[in-house]
Structure 1
């Protein structure tokens, strides 16, 4: 007995920004080369008055078209785009969705590793007898943190939300997870101003980084080379540890679904793990890097579009802002 992913749905905002759209804003940059290397052709951006909570609500309502919301007894809400500093946005979502007042609900602030952490927590709540049906929500609107002159981050990141039902199951479908943290790299991917340490600065000065990208310390900053070095060196041996921890071999795994950061980074990790292309899923061309939502979006699309068996074992891995990483073994069914 254990826990299993029963269903996943996701939601993109209405506004779609293509590489051609960005090319008109940045005519000196060749977005065809970007698309070839990074693998992103379009991303979705929340409207000025649209928040991550709004996206989350719509993802959940899509899910409720297939499941009974009254069975949910816990909400795990992963975001780095909270509605307010306080209270917890999960509490507001409970009210908006009309969930029972007996549910538990809380936020956790993680980015690219958020979904894997969330599944592990859901498994723990279920196996300890504290819940039976958990709504795991991921939602972020990084576009609101990115400077309009920051071509690189605008091209990479997109907004999205997902809703996953994790339930008690007679046949377990969520196995062991491992985790890693290196807080010494906290400033490699950061929005410096606006919280407790540094207030929002109305006179923040502009900085240039990379190839002419501009940001202020009120905006999102990513040290791309350092993040690439971290993921390419830490993640592959970590995946080997996760396989051993679950007592499985690569040949036993039907698919590897990693955080969809960018296609080049994923290709490097696949090669370092000596994995065949057919077993390593890349699914970010339409949507881009949606932070905590990339893995559930990829799982949903793989299950519904590319999976040719009724059930398969999958290694999922998240890594990024924090620095934080985690990975584990799950089973998924076709048609999530």
Structure 2
């Protein structure tokens, strides 16, 4: 038995924040500086009261409207999010009801960030191989902008909100290969929201500003950019090598590399370090920003639509980030 991606769709919130909008809040920035360093021109932001579950449902409806899969065929829902509606119940259960899916199916959430799409494919493939499901609806949905302090000029330039929907099945347009996965929880505090969970259930109200005017608070997303950059450079090149090994391929066999769309500077550095030709390295940051677990499926959909992925293409996908967590696989079209 094999596992395939059958269809991919995505949804973006209506509200758009451009670089011009950010510069109005932070005049020390310039539109050109943001575009050059981060590689983002605009990002979509969920509205007040619009949740990750709402976005996931919209993404699923777009996918169903494509006509490549029917909702009555879905027999398992996986939802990757770090922005759940509630501590409980599981958001995937809410999705099942709101989408009108059968009650005789499985549904669960899992909490991962930028590696979430790769991990979700591995879970879906396991469900297919185990005979537990035949058509898995795999959703990614994030509203990271709700976690950002209004004065966090660095992260506000980077992150966008979005949701994607992918169906993994016993047949489809692309075969899912073997996986390379990794975890190092020692880096957990370098990308974290400390309050709101069981460890610190109440808001800590400990906001301070560093010498550059950047906010630091347990109540908002904190990212140690230099440590995340070091982690990425240390772990992604070996991830690429091991993903190739797991699939018995050489780097030259790969037609397109689709990495997590973190930011332009990091992606450029990684491409050069791993020695990937520019024409084989996909980038679609400009109109979306870093949408966390959504970046890879959005990029895959864009690459399919613009012809960067063709019949018989071999595509490596690689996700890496919060956790620390990383993963890769090969998709054979």
**TM-score using structure 1 length:** 0.96
- 1:166 paired residue number: 168
1:257/1:299 contact within 8 Å kept:
yes
Aligned-pair CA distance for 1:267: 1.0
- 1:71 paired residue number: 73
- 2:10 paired residue number: 10
2:303/2:309 contact within 8 Å kept:
no
Alignment partners' CA distance in 2, 1:182 and 1:295: 21
Alignment partners' CA distance in 1, 2:262 and 2:197: 26
1:89/1:106 contact within 8 Å kept:
yes
Number of equivalent positions: 331
Deviations 1:147-187 (A, max 9, x none): 00100111100100000011102897011001111101000
2:83 equivalent among 81, 84, 94:
81
Alignment partners' CA distance in 1, 2:133 and 2:309: 32
Alignment partners' CA distance in 1, 2:158 and 2:209: 18
Alignment partners' CA distance in 2, 1:96 and 1:268: 42
Deviations 1:73-95 (A, max 9, x none): 00010000001001110000000
- 1:262 paired residue number: 263
Deviations 1:7-52 (A, max 9, x none): 1110110000000000001112223112112211110111111101
Answering whether residue 34 of structure 2 is matched by residue 34 of structure 1, we say: yes
The Cα RMSD (Å) is: 1.4
Alignment partners' CA distance in 2, 1:19 and 1:26: 10
1:3/1:126 contact within 8 Å kept:
yes
Structure 2 unaligned residues grouped into runs of 5+: none
1:314/1:329 contact within 8 Å kept:
yes
Alignment partners' CA distance in 2, 1:113 and 1:297: 14
1:13/1:46 contact within 8 Å kept:
yes
Aligned-pair CA distance for 1:217: 1.1
Aligned-pair CA distance for 1:310: 2.1
Alignment partners' CA distance in 1, 2:138 and 2:218: 31
SS in structure 2 opposite 1:2? coil
Instruction: Report which stretch shifted further, 167-176 or 127-136.
Output: 167-176
Structure 1 unaligned residues grouped into runs of 5+: none
Alignment partners' CA distance in 1, 2:167 and 2:320: 22
**TM-score using structure 2 length:** 0.96
1:149/1:215 contact within 8 Å kept:
no
Give 4+ residue runs of structure 1 displaced > 3 Å after superposition. Answer: none
2:6/2:173 contact within 8 Å kept:
no
Alignment partners' CA distance in 1, 2:129 and 2:211: 47
Aligned-pair CA distance for 1:212: 2.0
SS in structure 2 opposite 1:58? helix
